[in-house]
Each structure stands twice: as C-alpha cells, then as structure tokens.
Structure 1
C-alpha cells in the first residue's frame, strides 16, 4: 500500500460518519445517502494526489453538487426520512420526529439549502457557490423552505425563529 492510499484510508475511516450524516441530511434517504457518499469518496480517491491538502472540503463539495445534479435530473422519487443515529437537532424526541417529518415534505432543493445553511453553517454566498446558483436563489429558497416549515409544523416555531 502506498502512502497516498494509506492517507486516503485514514481519511475515510476518520470522516465517514460525519460525511454520512451530511449526505443523509441532503437526501433524506439512507440508501441515497450511501450512494451519494460512495460517489463523493470515489471522486476523492481518483483525485487524491490533487486534493490531499483539503480532502474534506472537496468531498463535501462533491456531496453538494452531486445531490443537486440528482434533484435537477429528478432521477429519484421523494422519499420519507427514516431514523438515523445522528445527534438530534433538538433535545425532545417528539420535536425531532416532527422536524424529520416536516423536512421530508420539503422539496430536495429546499432541504439541501436548509442543510447547507443551518447544518453545515454556510453563508448564503458559500451555499450559492456550492450549489452553483446565485445568492439570491439561496435567499429565496431559504425563505420559501422556512415558510413551508412554519405551515407544515407550527410547533417548530421555536426552532425556526418565529414567536408563537
């Protein structure tokens, strides 16, 4: 095994769990998330010599762009969110279930934008660059997604910044 292969294997072992959570949040489906992560890691392996200084940024970028390609092509049907052993965004299990159900009812584009903005903590400009759209598109999609969440799950108002 070469040094590059060993470095790649160490990267995969260390970062797969975090990258898997991101892939799941982007897709809302365990199987699609696995496919998305495999695609991203395959790309990283192919270009390891070029990206080894910042592999996580490269893999996350592939996750975002590949997910966008999938929902732009509409190759997969919207599916419900299953359970995943990720840290809950909120302490109450009922609230977590409500959030998962509400997120599952968003469009893939809306869910992707919310994941980038609030889970990955990207700015509007960074999210726009990751998705290959304008910052205005990210702003309007975020606004529409949050409005839809408010409608679908008013009990989440505390999480999405609305006072009852």
Structure 2
C-alpha cells in the first residue's frame, strides 16, 4: 500500500469487488470509457459473471485500486507488451468525472510508478494513450515521461482519426527526479 495524503493505492480485496463491478461493468456507456480507449467496445457484464472471475482481481500484482478518503475511485495496472516481460506498460482509470482534473491521477500514477520501480528490476516503464486524451499525456509529462512514439491516425473515434501515443521513462531518469 502507498499513500499520498488522502489518496491510497493498494491491492484489490474481496470486499472491493461490488464497487468495482458497479464502476466498470454495470453501465453500457460509462463516462470513463470516453477517455479510456473509446475506440474499443465496452460491454457490461452481470454481477454474477464478474464474480465468477474474482480470482483475476483479488490480491493481484498487476491491478490495484485507487482510493480517495477510503472510497474506491479508480484502478492502476500494468501489463507486458512482449513475451520476455521486459516491455512494461502501466495505466490508470478514474471512473467518475468528479475525480478528474484535480491532480489525483498524477499522484496515483506517481505512487504506482514508485511501486513498479521499487518492486521490479525493469529499466523502463511506459504508458500508451491516444492523442484525444490530452489529460493523460499531460500526466505522463508531469511524471517526467518522454514521448517515445507517435503512430499517426491509427485510432478512430466519433468520426475522427487520432494518434496512438507512447510515452516512457527510464529508471535512471525516475531516480533523478
């Protein structure tokens, strides 16, 4: 568990699952999906179906909850882009718009990046977003990440093409901050 004032990131517990289902899978068109890869479809699932896969959520290393004043607001995660498990990418989602624009994402992602560099031997942590999500790009910049790649016009949403944006930071750059 890592804490920055009222904000905490921690492993997901069994008693978090109902809230996570409500935030992520209950609605057909949740507000957060407008920013988190909206070019990929989102499908709601029943609570029962979600609970059948609860072992994929509870006490996993690759996905934690973000709480503000002990209320679940989002998740942080990581995944690998390669079979060798060298190319690590991280992500964050705050599920309600009332939590956006207050610096919470920057603080949570900073804690998550600290955790990833402290608990792994990876030399780089990356983040991939799309050019329509300017807030996420700004968060990455505030955390010292550099633009590493921009694949033009490969994301299509609401009748417009957007770029895929890859950002990253090396361990030595993170240590120097």
| Greater per-residue helix proportion | 1
| Greater per-residue strand proportion | 2
- After TM superposition, is the score higher than 0.5? no
TM-score using structure 1 length: 0.29
